Amino acid sequence: MLIEPSSHKEAVKVYKALGEPSRLSIINLLCQHKELSCTEIEQRLDFKGSTLSHHLKQLLDCGLLDLSRKEGTYHFYEVNKDMLKRYVALTVE
């Protein structure tokens, strides 16, 4: 069995999130860094604030991202490597 029936809803959320090119770009970028702030992600991927916020929420909701810390008004995000490894066949360092 590929995915346990109890995890079907989780799998659908993860694959739906990864199926959107902008969210996949965010994951790819964050896999290359320990963590990045919203501002750093915006600048590197040329996203607008509200668009990035929407994509980050989707990635947080499905468990692919974690809010690693807050520093003043800055939020820093990192990839949840365990979750990503569960659904994507690649090496995450």
CATH architecture of 9-87: Orthogonal Bundle (1.10)
* Chain segment 8-65, per-residue pLDDT in tens: 888 889 999 999 999 999 999 999 999 999 999 999 999 888 999 999 999 999 999 9
State the pLDDT confidence band at 1, using cuts at 50, 70 and 90: very low
Cβ(90)–Cβ(69) below 8 Å = no
Greater model confidence, 91 or 7: 7
Does 5 have pLDDT greater than 60?
Answer: no
**What dihedral do alpha carbons 20, 90, 44, 61 form, nearest 10°?**
50
Does 73 have pLDDT greater than 80?
Answer: yes
Handedness of CA 66, 72, 74, 76 (dihedral sign): negative
* CA distances for 78 relative to 4, 7, 26, 29, angstroms: 26, 23, 10, 10
pTM, rounded to two decimals: 0.86
Domains of the chain, by residue range, sit at: 9-87
Nearest to 13 by CA among 85, 83, 90, 92: 83
